[in-house]
Chains A and B, each alone.
Chain A
Amino acid sequence: MMSLTETSVLAVAKTQYHYKIKAHAGLFFALIAVQLLAFFFSLNGVGSSGGGSQGMSYTIKYFTGDVIIIFTLIWAFSIGISMANNGFKTDFTFVSNRLSSHLSSLAFLLTAAVIAGVTATLCGLLLRVVMLLSHGGVDTGPAFWIAPPALLSGIFAATLYAALLSIIGYFIGMLTQRHPAFVVLLPGLFFGTLFVEARSTGQARTLNSAIEFFSTEGSHALFALKVVLVSAIVFGCVILFFNRMEVRK
């Protein structure tokens, strides 16, 4: 008989990772499109106020890269879902098991998160430059210039957020793979909670506290630790719950 090939999950996951990068290159074009869209939205500013007295008037416009970040995070979330829905089907055409499929997906999502984090931050930077040039502002003041360490920490934070959201997306995608009812159930649960809380307390407490858990963290190291821990727990659940799922194409 032909000699049997001995292989390891990691070796297969590595091959799958390269395959996934090639196969899902289109998702990165989507990222560019999403960020461009967010960029143009941001050109109008997020708010303005103004006033005037004695024949003089002024307007203050607020510009921020937040929209770019938010759009990028939505993209990250959706590629997580799409990886869970389509990634494994292409995996099992060739050599795969569940673990190698999850690991290669994770590697792909982390790569995507880094790219998303870098491009989103740079996009925000571009927005500043465009604002400066288009408004002919000469007085830039010291706050305009972002020091390289701050820029790096911006990239770092954006990357971590993107990674977290894509992994959550992956988990949710896997849930819907397990049972199609989740397609209805999960959004129902999410918006239902928002609605009920908004009616009773006037604000979305659960969501807010989830966001605050990360965003109010002052220390970079602690913030990173929080994101990594939560991501690890979610991904651990993926492996735990979805490692013995049947393959149905």
Chain B
Amino acid sequence: MNVVDCSGLTKTFGRTTAVKNLSFTLAPNKITGLIGRNGAGKTTLLKLIAGYLLPNAGSIQVFSENPFNNIKVSANMIFVDENMVLPASMNLGEILESAGRFYAHWDHKLAVGLFTYFNLHPGQYHSKLSKGMRSAFNVILGLAAHCPLTIFDEPTIGMDAAVRKDFYRALLKDFMQCPRTVILSSHLLNEINDILDDLLLIKDGEKCLHMPIDELKEYAVGLQGKEETIAKMAEKAEVLHRKKLGKDSVYIAVRNQFAEEELHKARLEGVAISPVAADDLCMYLTARNKGGIDDVFDRN
């Protein structure tokens, strides 16, 4: 059984289409990274999955049910983002206590452990926390709830690098102890890359790529060398990005459709072959034009 099953999902706000004809499924017990630029429709998609919003067209199923206004889906799901509304009159200790009553699999030991580790105090108030600390508290709720579907929408906003690292590791360790379906949206793919099973890349509300993260590394390759050599290779593969270097040298990122021997031959011809970092690949795939920002400056 799939945990999430969308087909032709569309959501518009007034004239803007935030999610456009999206179809995909999420299998259980995987960590999926939802990647896209600002305004690509990540949050809207997640809110559709959480059952907060109604689609304009298409269908969405979570645990084989329509998630909208659905108590069963809600009981098995937690949605963590920076706008989590928590009562201003309760301190953090009381909120943890209350949150635990909502979730059947709540892990209070984990919650308290993380709470202490991140230097939070039960007497503090959510609204008085710094942005990073607030995010830390929110992710503690998300982890300790142990929900079969756990959604993190840009959970690390405001956290410093060390806390982000700790969070990702905590997520991975807790995930191994208690496997569940996790959706993690972010635009810092490099940081979360290694802990993901799958990647879902969206651009302008549409699906751009959905594949196991392990295959992403082989999806594209960077070639750098003399213009004519590169041009010959470029004919055989889809070019994702191009950048001129020096006098007659050029760098291209292409889909890796080459055989091992072809790459080997190219290497002997002086072509430098490099991996395309997942982050860069996503940037190239979601770019609006091939040359990137350079095009703006090269026009004159």
Complex: A in contact with B (CB within 8 Å)? yes
Chain A interface (Cβ within 8 Å of chain B)? 1-9, 12, 15, 18-19, 22-26, 86, 89-90, 92-100, 243-244, 246-249
A97-B69, A97-B71 known; A246 vs B54 contact (CB < 8 Å): yes
A26 to B87, CA, bound (A): 10
Scan residues 73-128 of chain B and give those whose CB is less than 8 A from a CB of chain A. 74-76, 78, 83-87, 89-90, 94, 98-99, 101-105
B101 touches A1 (CB 8 A): no
Chain B interface residue count, CB cutoff 8 Å, equals 40
Most buried by B among A18, A95, A100: A95
Instruction: Please state if A2 and B180 are interface contacts (CB–CB under 8 Å).
Output: yes
CA distance A24 to B90 in the complex (A): 9
A100 partner residues in chain B, CB cutoff 8 A: 71
Chain A CB count within 10 A is highest, among B89, B94, B181, for B89
Picked from A89, A95, A98, A99, the residue with its CB within 8 Å of the CB of B75 is A95
Whole-angstrom distance between the alpha carbons of A88 and B146 in the complex?
23
Asked whether A7 and B83 contact (CB < 8 A) given A26-B89, A94-B99, the answer is no
Contact status of A4 and B72, CB under 8 A, knowing A25-B89, A90-B86:
yes
Does B63 make an interface contact (CB < 8 A)?
Answer: yes
Any A CB within 8 A of the CB of B52 = yes
B222 at the interface (CB under 8 A from A): no
28 pairs, A vs B, C-beta closer than 8 Å: A1-B3, A1-B28, A1-B181, A2-B105, A2-B178, A4-B148, A5-B72, A5-B76, A6-B72, A6-B75, A7-B72, A7-B104, A12-B74, A22-B98, A23-B87, A24-B89, A86-B85, A90-B86, A90-B87, A93-B85, A94-B99, A96-B71, A96-B74, A99-B69, A244-B54, A244-B68, A246-B52, A248-B53
Instruction: Report the Cα distance A178→B71, complex, angstroms.
Output: 21
Q: Which residue on A lies nearest to B87, using beta carbons?
A: A23
Which residues on B sit within 8 Å (CB–CB) of A15? 101-102
Contacts known (A92-B52, A95-B103); A1 close to B84, Cβ less than 8 A: no
Give the docked Cα–Cα distance between A16 and B159 (Å).
30
The main secondary structure of chain A at its interface with chain B is loop
Q: Are B53 and A247 in contact, CB atoms less than 8 angstroms apart?
A: yes
CB pair A93–B72 under 8 Å, yes or no, is: no
Assembled-state Cα–Cα distance A13/B161 (Å): 39
A-B contact count (CB 8 A): 101
Q: Give the distance in Å from the alpha carbon of A3 to the alpha carbon of B104 in the complex.
A: 10
Cβ contact of B1, chosen from A1, A26, A93, A248, cutoff 8 A: A1
Name the prevailing secondary structure of the B interface residues.
Answer: loop
Interface residues of B (CB under 8 A from A): 1, 3, 28-29, 47, 51-54, 63, 68-72, 74-76, 78, 83-87, 89-90, 94, 98-99, 101-105, 146, 148, 178-181
Q: Which 10 A-B pairs have CB atoms at the shortest separation, nearest pair first?
A: A23-B87, A247-B52, A89-B85, A1-B28, A5-B104, A94-B102, A2-B148, A7-B75, A95-B102, A97-B71
Q: Which residues of B contact A248 (CB under 8 A)?
A: 52-53
CA distance A8 to B72 in the complex (A): 8
Q: Are A2 and B179 in contact (CB under 8 A)?
A: yes
Residue of B nearest to A19 (CB): B98
When C-beta atoms are compared, the residue in chain A nearest to B52 turns out to be A247
Complex: A4 Cα to B78 Cα, angstroms: 13
Whether A9 lies near B101 (C-beta < 8 A) is no
Q: Which residues in A have their C-beta under 8 angstroms from that of B68?
A: 244
Minimum C-beta distance from B217 to chain A (A): 28
Q: Shortest distance in angstroms between A134's beta carbon and chain B's nearest beta carbon?
A: 37
Sample of 16 more A-B contacts, CB < 8 Å, known A5-B76, A100-B71: A1-B179, A3-B148, A5-B105, A7-B75, A7-B104, A12-B102, A15-B102, A18-B101, A19-B98, A22-B87, A23-B89, A23-B98, A93-B85, A95-B103, A246-B53, A247-B53
Residue of A nearest to B1 (CB): A1
Q: How far is the CA of A19 from the CA of B52 in the complex (A)?
A: 21
CB-CB < 8 A to B69: which residues of A? 97-99, 243-244
A18 to chain B, nearest CB (A): 7
Residues of A within 8 A of B76 (CB): 4-5
Closest chain-A Cβ to B16's Cβ sits at a distance in Å of 15
Whether B74 lies near A23 (C-beta < 8 A) is no
CA distance A10 to B29 in the complex (A): 30
Across the interface, B83 reaches (CB within 8 A) one of A5, A244, A249, namely: A249
Closest to A94 in B: B102
Taking CB as reference atom, which chain B residue is nearest A98? B69
